[in-house]
Amino acid sequence: MNSRMEAFTHRVGGLAYGGDYNPEQWDPAVWREDVRLMREAGVNTATLGVFAWASLEPEPGKYEFGWMDEVMDLLHAGGISVNLATPTAAPPVWLTHLHPEVFPIMADGQPFGFGNRLQYDPSSPIYREYAAGITTKLAERYSFHPALAMWHISNEYGPTAYNEASSVNFRRWLQRKYGDLGSLNEAWTTRFWGQIYTDWEQIEVPNIPRTWMNPARRLDFKRFTSDALLECYIAERDIVRSFRDDVPVVTNFMRFYRNADYWKWAPEEDAVALDIYPNPLESDSHVSAAFQYDLFRSLKGGQPWLLMEQSSSAVSQWKVNVVKEPGRMRLGSLQAVSRAADSVLFFQWRASRGGHERFHSAMLPHSGADSRTFREIVDLGREVKALAPVAGSTAQAEIAILFDWNGWWGLEETFGLPRNDFSYVESVMRNYTPLWKAHYPVDVVSTASSLAPYKVLLIPNAYLIDDDGVARITEFVRAGGTVIMSFFSGVVDEFNRVRPDGYPGAFRELIGAKIDEYWAARPDEVFNVEFGDGRTATATWWRDDIHLETGTALATYRDGILKDRAAVVANRYGSGRVVYFATLLDEESFDTTLLQAVESAGAAKPFDGVPAHVECAVRRNDDHEFVFLLNHDAEVSTTVTLSAGGTDLLSGRTVSGDIELGPLDAVVIQRPARPAE
């Protein structure tokens, strides 16, 4: 944790608790009541001004800061710190009316239009100029206000624009990347279909073509879009830091968001922050949430992260928006903390009377302080305060899973593959879920991450992977690591060009086999598979026409054209081992094979014998470890046996041995630092 975040943690007294506050939506008479109820709820942090540009600058160059002054003063007097946002995610109507060219043009050539948010082209120099203007005014006025504890730059960066300004910026980006047109033409394989560029001015953003698009051009545009958005963030960050350099600066990311490469963004922030809304209708939404939390802990090398937004109950963005049953909001909040979140923050404090999210739940709902939700918020506030010793601690893992935005873009954003219905997220979760159920700690890595801390690396459908990533993975196995790899990995380089010398070009030596063809399965096609130990399985969706070289078959097909050919391959390479899935096994067989490989690699299993519905996680600092046990079952109580007890921070009780967890119940046990169980 860097010094700015350490100062923030010290200021709020442990974990940050609170959420987005939008006082501009309310009469000033409400503000004092808000502060009183925030204090009752244990709120120590309020995010202010996220969508307030039009309220702060109602006309170009005319500023109204009086209301913000009053709110900042009220919050400070109430002992509540402010995470002050630059409001640049929602440009005011006067800006788009004066300069309609700032509207993002969509891929179909139509303008985005006013009435939502994010109505800007991130490459627009006019937008950037006005965004810098309001940011500068805020920094001038509030950098040394005693309430200020953190800067929140914009909100949920996301627009993809196909404007002329985007084309200009895209060309500049390409010139920096390639240097000359010859290198670009080679990387993009423009000799195919006669697409050779002879002048930089000929290159435009790749809006919808009438047939198909050059896959390398499309891939570079995804990279450019992420970088263009990042440029906007950095510009505003640098403005606020120019006034005061000891306050942390963050922005908020989103769950499984494809338009921004968060591995590139994370180093530019003091902490990464996540907005996440698990759908209560999805029975496994807490598992995908756990992956997101592990990803966000990993983005900055294991540092604590910030849960910036979640809902207290129902949301408003799905077709059916069900409430969180009593206890679910508490459990989800503790789940984030268990995986190294140092905050529990919500959207939003007071439910809005109008606007699109008028039925989105809030800490203080429409039914007021005498409501189930607010009572749960008050109770959670007491528990968050009791968890202050956890702040700053983090987690350790011996298993890592590769999650790479370039690979995601290559697999889903460029057409022309053997199958064009891949879901990278589904593949990642298929690999992650059995580890979560077995209570293995997991880190998430990029192709540039150090793999030295790990015994096992999972690689889900890494179709596109750069040379640096290939070298790191190869050395990891050579040095004794175990890789568990899914089919269609290592196929193309960073320019989306098929690697030479046969599939899978990057990993042929590692898997010890050559693949002649990739066979997409026909609809409803099922293959029977048999393992060497006699287990049988079924497979669907995909098969590699694989020919063993140094590898051996862990499982073979029992029928079909590929009868007796390998379906799962194991190979020794250097001091390490690779297990390669050449097909899509049924879930039970895949999970069993994956977990056997993990166990053979010697990865520690801290919570053996605990049922899958009880989530187990450990955070550590130099003095203590904090064991989180979370029962996700809403009906069944469960007993968990621990070899070493301690103090349950939530109840204050001393616990040891058998620990009873009621439905949706949790304990957080503090005990002296010791090796993982």
List, by residue number, the catalytic residues.
156, 309
Residue 642 region by backbone torsions, left for phi larger than 0, else alpha for psi between -120 and 50, else beta: beta
Q: Which two tokens stand for residue 309?
A: 């937004």
How many alpha carbons lie under 13 Å from residue 121 in its C-beta half-sphere?
Answer: 26
Give Cα 13 to chain centroid, integer Å. Answer: 26
Give residues with Cβ within 8 angstroms of 6, minimum separation 6. 392
Q: Which two tokens stand for residue 243?
A: 């006034």
Listed residue (428, 459, 462) closest to 579, CA to CA: 459
Whether residue 558 contacts residue 529, with contact meaning beta carbons closer than 8 Å, is answered with yes
Q: Percentages helix, strand, coil for the chain, rounded to the nearest 5?
A: 35, 25, 45
CA 339/CA 631 separation, integer angstroms: 15
Give residues with Cβ within 8 angstroms of 122, minimum separation 6. 157, 159, 161, 225, 228, 229, 231, 232
CA 364/CA 352 separation, integer angstroms: 10
CA 674/CA 484 separation, integer angstroms: 30
∠ CA(333), CA(334), CA(335), 5° rounding?
A: 90
Whether residue 616 contacts residue 516, with contact meaning beta carbons closer than 8 Å, is answered with no
Whether residue 442 contacts residue 561, with contact meaning beta carbons closer than 8 Å, is answered with no
Whether residue 382 contacts residue 42, with contact meaning beta carbons closer than 8 Å, is answered with yes
595: which DSSP letter? H
